[in-house]
Amino acid sequence: MPLSKTAILILFFVLNWVAALAASDPCIRTISGNVRDSLSKDFVPYVIITVDGNNKGTYSDEKGHFHLDSLCPGTYTIIFKSLGYKTISTTINTEKTAKLTVYLSQQNIELKEVNIEAYKSRSEILQTQASLHGKELNQTRGLSLAESLAGITGVSMIRTGPSISKPVIHGMYSNRVLIINNGVRQEGQQWGSEHAPEIDPFIASELTVIKGAASIRYGSDAMGGVILVAPKPLKKQHGYSAELNLVGLTNNRQGVVSGIFDGNLRQVEGLAFRLQGTYKKAGSSFAPGYNLGNTGFQEINFSSAVRFNRANYEVGAFYSRFNTTLGILRKSHIGNKTDLLNQFESNRNDTSEFSYKIERPRQDISHDLLKVYGNLYGDYGKLNLTYAFQHNYRAEYDAHRPYKNQLGEKPNLEFNLYTNTLDFQWEHSISERLKGSAGIMGMIQANVYTGRKLIPNFTNYTGGIYLIEKYTKDKFQLEGGVRYDYKFLKSYENLGDSISSNNFNWSKTSGSIGASLDLSDDLKLQATLGTAWRAPSINELFIDGVHHGAASYEKGDRTLKEEMEYSFTSHLHYYGERIHGEIGFYYNLIDHYIYLKPDTSVILTILGAYPSFHYTQVNATYFGLDSDLTIGITNKLNLDSKITLVRAENRETNQFLEYIPADKFIHSLTYSLPDFSILEDVELSLTNISVLRSKAPKDTDHLPPPPGYSVFNADLSFSIPVNGTPVSLGIGFNNILNTKYRDYLNRFRYFSDETGRNFIIRAKIPIEISN
Amino acid sequence: MMNYNLILILLSAALVFSSCKEDEPAPHNEEELITNVELHFAEANNEANSFTVTYKDTDGAGGQDPVQSAPIVLEKSKSYLLSIKVKDESNASNVLDLTNEVAEESINHQFFFTFSPSQLATHTYSDEDGNAKPIGLENVISAGSTSISGTMTITLKHQPDKNASGVSSGDISNAGGETDIEARFSISVN
């Protein structure tokens, strides 16, 4: 890995300078430390930390850590403030103290705030997780959900050209990754690798990735991990506020407008609401040197929320609609294997010109989510009941419109998926040291298709019950969980003049046990052992048809058994003065792992020959390493190094599995200034993303994996106070060198390069409206 | 008390919502499938000498492989008029002829004919689209002068580049586009 060697050399070089500078500037004292709950010893995130008599301040990060810098030598009073906790202050002398741990004690909470509850329930799970919020989330504005998360270690994305991307956690995706959208399990046609999650990232003020199986709390499918899309809590004070986000991207001439309007009525105590909407329009993207014809897309999203609360209860409703039309690279839609081979050989560049027009092949997708919920608070803890209805509509238009005129412009394939979910959850503390949650959840689902035969209609009933308890004693935490799930699936296959039905039943118990230990104030070690399982999905059982994007014929197998996972994850978290970071290791054994295996034969159709694939099961091993290390070179300059390594093997043949992310290294240098002239919170970063060649076997695919690549991105962000409110602005510059490369996890690597240089401008304008 | 009422209201709301949905989705299908390619051969100088051969895959991709109804046998050095029909026979009670649809969209379609070995026969187009470019629904096939057997591959391309070099004279290599049909017929010349 030549890149990290260079980085280390640069680092040493810069460190010399730091030492020299440190001697000359007295105002470089730092105080860092962490904030913890006095009882549970959990780290407390988002504590507001201010230095009395000084305009310096910060807040603790999601791990409860904070860092104050550029202090002149002297004595300061530091104030720690957080909702639900008693405010405390402490006086320290910079010459004596550089590190401290602060314990906050909980207020006798009368005010049951939603946000505190949310964070608390999340910290209950001893699991490796990472989240994007604040400035980091801002930098991803305008991108898709998967693109936003791709900077997190252990996370990658699988793409189908510039318009379709979906997240990959620890090498797993689609049915093995759950997305919890505002507390509701997102249900779309997630089995398809070209079916992107139907979520507007602007809904979220925080995106969290739970890495590794988190089945106990979220459901049996969560073998790879869980993505939590969490909106900002509704407004707590009377009045109105709004926020406008504007993003422009040059590569595909994309414009994004997103707005939020929040209100809390003075007239009705406890009634708050939100309206939110996003509009995106993008034309076709450019690879270095040529246009990617028909890769434009358009998105219109809308959501609204209302909540009514009193001292001991709260009820609310949420509705969101996601709507997109997206173009698929024209030359990727091909007839048969001969066409595919022609595409490889001809290597003809796309001669199309930039256009906003979206033509066939394309997808039209909409997703409606309606959620109603109630929370009760009392001596027993918190009770939550949530019901949600989702309707997912997906229409796929092949390149060729139907010959029959009466079918007109109708899609070649259409799915309507209706999902009802009901969740009941009880969060409780049995004693100060023993806390936990228990829950029951149920789901009823029906899928109806029209058009080309691919998967049959089905109904699906799922039920689950779980219990998680966590024991805390001083620096030690122990967590255990157990869950039972049941799934019933009935398929309705159309045999022309009759319907053939098949019933399937699966049920299993899974469990997990985890522990964490604070080795010192800086160092925390965590390890979890668990089991998870997943029933085969409808496509794995029944798919029967041609996949035009990949020129392949796919066949399901209705005798497939459930997958069984035994996982071990461990995590070391260090937060030192100059260096902080974490390193995680995981090792998963998956029995009856379901995957699409290439056949040696071809399937003959009227369209010619197709390579044939079928779903089968093998015993597999997934293991890997994630690391994220930040080194404070100076108070203002940080070097961040992220490494994502995944290995997945067929245990029977010891061969690597296909479509697993290649080794990824992200290095960035960030220079931050608290203020510069009229600008505040200035941050300048230079990032290198290097990906090695995939280790997948060369002979099981149409083409061997593409070589590794290295791209550079830069970003500048700052805020300008306008009438007292900070307007955040950002300028991003992706693929600065216009590097030509292909990514193994892009299904369109057969046809085209990745997109080239992209210049991004972002603005976030908060608007305070006095009542 | 208030609390229990709340739970009851929510529960019943949920039940009402979920029972609104019909549990068993009724499957219905409206797909389009080209299942048949019909070749009608007629001797150029003696149109009474004619025969029809079909290449058929009624169950679509997967299942049974496509089958050719009868061998194609051409007489040495004779010319044949070849007209092609395209049909959807996936629903036996409602066979659809899609030939007219191909003709209506002739600007976006072209048939290509390749013989292996090439001595089997030669092909020329005898129809044209609105831009005076060939379509290939009507053709002339001239059998070679030696007794030989092999294959004839008929390819229907959607949105080919009809202006690319050689395409209008029947060379598929620069045609691009998307394959709608690729049928391999066994053929012999006697």
**Contacting residues of B for A334, CB less than 8 Å apart:** 178-179
State the pLDDT at residue A597.
Answer: 86
Secondary structure (3-state) at B184: strand
Structure tokens at B140: 């002339």
Contact A418 B21 (CB under 8 A): yes
Using alpha carbons, list the distances in angstroms from residue A291 to A251, A354, A362. 10, 6, 17
Work out the angle at residue A185's Cα, subtended by the Cα atoms of residues A184 and A187, and round it to the nearest 5 degrees.
120
Residue A301 has pLDDT above 90, yes or no: yes
Report helix, strand and coil shares of chain A as percent, to nearest 5: 10, 55, 35
> Which residue in B has a C-alpha nearest to residue A378's C-alpha?
B3
Taking the C-alpha atoms of residue A624 and residue A593, their distance in angstroms, rounded to an integer, is 17
A512: Cα separation from own chain's centroid: 23
pLDDT of A674 strictly over 90: no
Question: Strands (DSSP E) along A633-657, which ranges?
Answer: 637-650
Residues 404-423 of A with CB under 8 A from B: 404-405, 407, 410, 412, 418, 420, 422
Instruction: Tell me the chain B residues in contact with residue A494 when contact means C-beta distances shorter than 8 Å.
Output: 27-29
Query: What's the gap in Å between the CA of B46 and the closest CA on chain A?
Result: 31
- Residues of chain B contacting A610 with CB distance shorter than 8 Å: 61
- Distance of alpha carbon A434 from alpha carbon A429, whole angstroms: 6
> CB A266: neighbour CB atoms within 10 A?
11
pLDDT of residue A349: 62
Residues A487-498: tens digit of each pLDDT: 999 999 887 778
Which residues contact residue A29 at a Cβ distance below 8 angstroms, ignoring those fewer than 6 apart? A69, A70, A71, A72, A73, A94, A95, A98
User: Alpha-carbon distance A270 to A138, whole Å?
Assistant: 30
Give me the residue spans of the domains in chain B.
Answer: 31-189
With a cut of 70, say whether residue A176 has pLDDT above it. yes
Can you tell me the distance from the alpha carbon of A169 to that of A152, in angstroms, rounded to the nearest whole number? Answer: 10
**Beta strands A225-230 and A88-93: pairing type?**
unpaired
Subunit contact B3:A312, Cβ cutoff 8 A = yes
Q: Residue A82: name the closest of A107, A51, A117, A57 by CA.
A: A107
- Kindly report, residue by residue over A513-548, the tens digit of the pLDDT: 999 998 988 899 999 999 999 999 999 999 988 876
Closest CA to B186 of B122, B124, B115, B83: B115
Question: Could you give the CA distance from residue A708 to residue A706 in angstroms, rounded to a whole number?
Answer: 7
DSSP 8-state assignment for residue A105: P
Residue A9 scores a pLDDT above 70: no
Residue A347, pLDDT > 80, answer: no
Task: Find, in chain B, the residue whose alpha carbon is nearest to that of A545.
Answer: B61
Report the distance separating Cα A625 and Cα A168, nearest Å. 15
Instruction: Look at the block and give the residue holding tokens 């506020």.
Output: A241
Calculate how close chain B gets to A553, using CA atoms only, in Å.
Answer: 8
Does domain B31-189 correspond to CATH entry 3.40.50? no
- The answer to whether A546 faces chain B, any CB pair under 8 Å, is yes
Among A332, A391, A403, the strongest candidate for a mutation testing the B interface, having the largest count of B CBs within 10 A, is A403
Instruction: Judge: B182–A335 Cβ closer than 8 Å, yes or no.
Output: yes
The two structure tokens encoding residue A49 = 């930390």
If DSSP codes are grouped into helix, strand and coil, which group holds residue A563?
strand
Name the pLDDT band for A730 (thresholds 50, 70, 90): very high
Question: CA A262, A265, A269 angle in degrees (round to 5)?
Answer: 130
Q: Taking residues A215-222, report their average pLDDT.
A: 86
Phi, psi of B173 (to 5 degrees): -65, -30
Structure-token pair, residue A314: 């709260």
Which residues from chain B sit within 8 angstroms of residue A339, using beta carbons?
A: 178-179
Q: Mean pLDDT, chain B, as a whole number?
A: 84
Q: Which of left, alpha, beta for B128 (phi over 0: left; psi -120 to 50: alpha)?
A: beta
ipTM (interface pTM): 0.74
**How are the residues of chain B apportioned to helix, strand and coil, as percentages rounded to the nearest 5?**
20, 40, 40
Tell me how far apart the alpha carbons of residues A393 and A322 are, in angstroms, rounded to a whole number: 10
pLDDT band at A118 (very low <50, low <70, confident <90, very high): very low
A750 phi and psi, to 5 degrees? -70, -30
Residue B23 has pLDDT above 90, yes or no: no
Give the pLDDT mean for A295-322.
95
- Give the pLDDT confidence score for residue A697 in this predicted structure: 87
Give the distance from residue B48's alpha carbon to the nearest chain A alpha carbon, in angstroms.
29
Q: Distance between CA A553 and CA A667 in Å, rounded?
A: 40
Q: Determine the straight-line distance between the first and last CA of chain A, rounded to whole angstroms.
A: 58
Minimal Cα distance from A450: which residue of B?
B29
Average pLDDT over every residue of A10-37: 60
**What would the pLDDT profile of A705-714 be if each residue is shown by its tens digit?**
999 999 999 9
Which residue of chain B is at minimal alpha-carbon distance from A443? B18
